[in-house]
Chain A
Amino acid sequence: MSSVAASIPVDAIPRSRRARVTFALVGNPNAGKSTLFNRLTGLRQKTANYPGVTVEKHIGTALLDATPLDLIDLPGIFRLTPESADERIAVEVLLGRVAGTPQPDGILAVVDATRLYQGLYLLQQLAEIGRPMIVVLTMADAAARLGTRFDIEKLSAKLGGIPVVPVVATTGKGLVDLKRELTVAMTAEASPPPSFWPALRQTALQLLGGANTDSCGTGIQEVERNLVEDDPLATARLVALKGPGVLAQIEKARADLFRGEPGLAVEARHRYGWIREVLDEVQSAAPPITRWGSFLVDWMNRPYPATVLFFVVMALVFQAVFAWATPFMDLIDGATTALGESIRQYLPDGVLQSLVVDGVVAGVGSVIIFLPQILILFLFIILLEDTGYLARAAFLVDRAMRPVGLSGQSVIPLLSSFACAVPGIMATRAIPDRRDRIATILAAPFLTCSARLPVYALLIAAFVPSRTIGVANLQGIVLFGLYMLGIVGGIGTALLLRRSALRGPKPNFVLALPAFRLPNLRTVAIALLDRVKVFLRRAGTVIFMVAVIVWALAYFPRSATVEADAAAARAVAEANYSGVELTQQLADVDNKAAAAHLEQSALGRVGKIVEPVFTPLGWDWKISAAVIAGFPAREVVVAVLGTIYAVGAEADESSLADRLRSATFADGSQVFTLPMVLGLLVFYAWCLQCVATLAVIRRETNSWRWPVFAWAYMTVLGYLGALLIYQVGSRIAA
């Protein structure tokens, strides 16, 4: 920072002359913040019904009569005392403690009229920050239908003159008034912060010696929060400013204010006392318990019906993922094959043709094919989230999660991980307890994500007989078993960690349960589109790169000897055969040449080097090479197996299954025996083959320790599982 800039406090520059004005969008979870954000900025971002799902930092620009206003959409909070990671982000941004994010110039607070009681708690604390502020009252229309009317002007007066604007976020009613108020607030100067707890303000002022702000950034707000919450960092800053004598003053101030009670408890009593008085004046009547108006909703909230409904929904989800997706997958499969074939026509034989057709089209195509399944899975997860059902699930299973050392809070991340562990791990930010959160993060990669499906689908279809046992199909039973294996692995891991490295007090469970509501189609569509973009971006970057690298490793170095042998064999075939027989002979020569090329390619050599490690699992060098290549992203393995076992040009799924079935070792025995395949499936169920997951674990735990541990632990576990199944299985079979 330059010395000139440092010498002028930002607040001394009139707001209207600063380049950009930024307001923070704050409110309780589920108050309608994200919907309002979408309305104002048009920026796409995720909104959901589970408290605390908006964990990313979202910034958008609202146009007010052509004047831009930047908005930061913060995670939902109830108070300025954070507990979970996402609450911490919100509070620190508001108080200007986040490096690289200047304190917002103003605050746009959203409060739900049907939950004004809790909303007013946060409003008091926000107003005390002393920045220009506007309150948006949502759901006032819903409250009016239930017979509760609000005296908006009186509410505004009680809040010290802060404008209160009723807005119906879904229809946009009230937005014009809001934009007008925002334009006024943008150019307003910061005023002396009001206080709803004068005794606390007075004590804080005494501690600061009358100064409101100073060069260390110790504002009145920080001194007040520190008195209530006892924050060692804030105390250190105050000591640096006022000298060590201030410690005794703080102790005395706390004793006078709180009289031996915890500061937070005294604050809650004080603020809610004020709130009850205000509510009596501004609200015509307390809103009735509305959700009970509908018998169906009441019934659905009961524990047993809710549980049955939950299992029915989950069964429907898995059914949908397999049954509904098939026609679309066939369509994509046909399209990629046709694309590959037509490219083959236009490009001459050689390196370039092989790169485009066998590397790029086949590799990326074999992953894109799972887009329909992933879409359906995410659609259901988003619907469950948006209707409020995921939060209800957390409430239902809290008791069952307790012996494992987790709480109901872990259920939302874990259910999301059935689609993909990356958003699942990101959703753990709403879990307040750190040990609880890390245990959940390490359990998440065990759950059967959508990237495991291709591998499962291929191997099960090829090797598990489609026999009906009772009412169920054997293939279905194996697939269900693999899902259970993932759950057992995840739960077992959490249990082990909570008994060892992450030992600690049992986590608590405090959760605001959102009322059931019909999903908002727009919100669902935006969220789904977001997921599709992420998936396609991944297919276009990571998977594209892996496909090309694997192709190159399998293609180079080209052996002149193999080429010469093949040419000689071709000449022999042409001399001795004709017609259909010749075609068959030539294809056979090509297959043998391809296999020979592969065997002495870089990938073949790597496969042979690591083969001894995997021999006890019954794998040959081809599977070993495919598994090694699949470590960056597990779905790649299907593409690699396709390349390795590609005989001739077509590499569609069914023929790949045929080729796997006919693969043999040098001594002629079958490679893919049932014990070996089951072992391979167990390996895939437990092994952590996903760079994106490792990266997100690194980011969320802020340490390399946990991703390294997770990777090593899961790889060893997968190996041991496969070893056990193969060794025991082949002895039983023998």
Chain B
Amino acid sequence: MTLADLRRGDRARIESIDSRDKSVQRLMTMGLVEGAEVVYLNASLGGDPLELDVYGMSLSLRRQQARCFGVSRIGADPGVQRRG
């Protein structure tokens, strides 16, 4: 499961990263490292790019980059309405 497979409101922990790409390394310096927890907030029009919450910061990235982050789902964030 990768960041790109999450649904709105999912909270997930990053487990593994394919760090070859420069833009992935850039995301890592913004806090997307192994062990970090993120919440999936939104997808843009057409499902791409994505919006994540990373410890209080809202971060936007493309699906292609999101697939480089392996995650495990650890629950739903109570603050995010899942539907509607």
- The listed residue (A79, A117, A301) touching B42 by CB distance below 8 A is A301
Q: A265-B17, A301-B41, A400-B45 are contacts. A289–B53 as well, Cβ < 8 Å?
A: yes
Contacts of B46 in A (CB 8 A): 399-400
In the complex, the answer to whether B65 meets A510 with C-beta atoms within 8 Å is yes
Docked-complex contact A288 and B79, CB < 8 angstroms: yes
Select which of A267, A400, A510 is within 8 A of B61 by beta carbon. A510
Query: Considering the complex, which residues of chain A in the window 275-303 have a beta carbon less than 8 Å from any beta carbon of chain B?
Result: 276, 286-293, 295, 298, 301-303
Residues on B with C-beta less than 8 A from A17 are none
Closest-by-CB residue of A relative to B41 is A301
Contact of B29 with A289 in the complex, beta carbons under 8 Å: no
Q: CB within 8 A of B28: which of A116, A269, A307, A514?
A: A269
Chain A residue contacts of B28, Cβ below 8 A:
264-265, 268-269
In the docked arrangement, what's the CA distance between A400 and B44, Å? Answer: 10
CA–CA, A488 and B52, complex, Å: 33
Are B19 and A261 closer than 8 Å at their CB atoms? Answer: yes
CB distance from B70 to the nearest CB of A (A): 14
A401, chain B: closest CB distance, angstroms: 11
CA gap between A462 and B66 in the complex, in Å: 55
- Within the complex, the shortest CB–CB distance from A269 to chain B, in Å, comes to 5
Q: Considering the chains assembled together, what is the distance between the CA atoms of A287 and B29 in angstroms? A: 21
Closest to A507 in B: B23
Q: Are A513 and B60 in contact (CB under 8 A)?
A: yes
Return chain A residues, CB-CB under 8 Å to B65. Answer: 508, 510
Q: Are A515 and B54 in contact (CB under 8 A)?
A: no
Name the interface residues of B31-73: CB closer than 8 Å to any CB of A: 31, 33-36, 39, 41-49, 51, 53-62, 65
Is the CB–CB distance between A399 and B49 below 8 Å?
Answer: yes
Q: Are A79 and B81 in contact (CB under 8 A)?
A: no
Query: A114 touching B60 by the CB < 8 A rule?
Result: no
Q: In the bound complex, how far is the Cα of B58 from the Cα of A115, in angstroms?
A: 10
Q: Give the complex CA separation of A307 and B46 in angstroms.
A: 12
Q: Find out whether the CB atom of B23 lies under 8 angstroms from the CB atom of A268.
A: no
A565 within 8 A of B: no
Q: How far is the CA of A269 from the CA of B80 in the complex (A)?
A: 28
State in angstroms the CA–CA spacing of A261 and B19 once bound together: 8
The reply to whether A272 and B31 form a contact with Cβ atoms under 8 Å apart is: yes
Instruction: Answer whether residue A118 sits at the interface, using C-beta atoms and an 8 A cutoff.
Output: yes
Q: Mark A82-121, 1 if CB is under 8 A from B, else 0.
A: 0100000000000000000000000000000011111001
Q: How far is the CA of A276 from the CA of B33 in the complex (A)?
A: 11
Whether a CB of chain A sits under 8 angstroms from the CB of B74 is no
Known: A268-B25, A269-B33, A272-B31. Is A399-B45 also a contact (CB below 8 A)?
Answer: yes
Scan residues 374-405 of chain A and give those whose CB is less than 8 A from a CB of chain B: 395-400
A82–B1 CA distance with the chains assembled, in angstroms: 31
CB atoms of A396 and B45 under 8 A apart: yes
B6 at the interface (CB under 8 A from A): no
Query: Do A118 and B58 touch across chains, with their CB atoms under 8 A apart?
Result: no
Q: Does A262 contact B (CB under 8 A)?
A: yes
* Structural contact, B31 and A121, CB atoms closer than 8 A: yes
What is the bound-complex CA distance between A514 and B56, given in angstroms?
10
- Complex Cα distance, B30 from A508, in Å, reads 15
Nearest neighbor of B21 in chain A, beta-carbon distance = A508
Contact across chains for A398 and B30 when beta carbons are under 8 A apart: no
**Quick check: is A712 within 8 A (CB to CB) of the other chain?**
no
User: A408 and B49: CB pair below 8 A?
Assistant: yes
With beta carbons under 8 angstroms apart, the residue of B25, B33, B59 that contacts A272 is B33
Residues of chain B within 8 A (CB-CB) of A117 are 31, 54-57
B17 to chain A: closest residue by CB: A265
Q: Digitize A550-574: 1 where CB-to-B-CB distance is under 8 Å, 0 elsewhere.
A: 0000000000000000000000000
* A511 is an interface residue with CB less than 8 A from chain B: yes
**Complex: chain A residue closest to B20, CB-CB:** A262
Asked if residues A303 and B54 are in contact (CB atoms below 8 Å), the reply is no
B25 pairs with A264, CB closer than 8 A: yes
Cα A613 to Cα B25 with chains together (Å): 55
Q: Which residues of B contact A302 (CB under 8 A)?
A: 42
Q: Decide if A63 is an interface residue (CB 8 Å cutoff).
A: no
Q: Which residues of A contact B15 (CB under 8 A)?
A: none
Assembled-state Cα–Cα distance A580/B63 (Å): 79
Measured between alpha carbons, how far is A306 from B29 in the docked complex, in Å? 29
* Beta-carbon nearest neighbor of B58 in chain A: A513
Chain A contacts of B55 at CB under 8 A?
Answer: 115-118, 286
Q: Are A508 and B79 in contact, with the CB atoms below 8 A? A: no
For A143, the closest partner residue in chain B by CB is B56
Complex alpha-carbon distance, A178 and B7, angstroms: 44
- Is there contact, CB below 8 Å, between B79 and A264? no
Judging by beta carbons under 8 Å apart, are B42 and A303 in contact?
A: yes
- Whether B62 lies near A509 (C-beta < 8 A) is yes
Contacts of B59 in A (CB 8 A): 510-513
Interface contact A267-B29, CB-CB below 8 Å:
yes
A81 within 8 A of B: yes
Whether the Cβ atoms of A115 and B57 lie closer than 8 Å is yes
Could you say which of A261, A301, A510 has the most chain B C-beta atoms within 10 Å of its C-beta?
A: A510
Chain B residue at minimal CB-CB distance from A295? B81
| Residue A78, interface by CB 8 Å | yes
List residues of chain A with CB within 8 A of the CB of B62: 398, 508-509
* A292 and B80 in contact, given A114-B56, A399-B49 (Cβ under 8 angstroms): yes
List of A residues within 8 angstroms of B20 by Cβ = 262
A331 to B37, CA, bound (A): 59
Residues on A with C-beta less than 8 A from B39 are: 289
Contact between B43 and A303, CB atoms less than 8 A apart:
yes
The answer on a CB contact under 8 Å between A398 and B49 is yes
Q: Say whether B58 contacts A515, CB under 8 Å.
A: yes
In the complex, which residues of chain B have a beta carbon less than 8 angstroms from the beta carbon of A290? 79
- Min CB–CB distance B53 → chain A (angstroms): 5
Are the CB atoms of A289 and B80 closer together than 8 Å? yes
Contact A276 B58 (CB under 8 A): no
* CB-based contact A509/B61 at 8 Å: yes
| A interface residues (Cβ-Cβ under 8 A, vs B) | 78-79, 81, 83, 114-118, 121, 261-262, 264-265, 267-269, 272-273, 276, 286-293, 295, 298, 301-304, 307, 395-400, 408, 508-515
- Give residues in B with beta carbon < 8 Å to A: 17, 19-20, 23-31, 33-36, 39, 41-49, 51, 53-62, 65, 77, 79-81
27 interchain pairs, CB-CB under 8 A: A78-B29, A78-B30, A83-B26, A117-B55, A118-B54, A262-B19, A265-B28, A273-B33, A276-B36, A286-B56, A289-B79, A292-B77, A292-B80, A295-B81, A301-B42, A302-B42, A304-B45, A395-B60, A399-B44, A399-B48, A400-B45, A400-B46, A408-B60, A509-B62, A510-B26, A511-B59, A513-B60
12 A-B pairs besides A268-B25, A514-B58 with CB distance below 8 A are: A78-B30, A262-B25, A268-B33, A276-B36, A291-B58, A395-B51, A398-B44, A399-B49, A509-B60, A510-B27, A510-B30, A512-B57
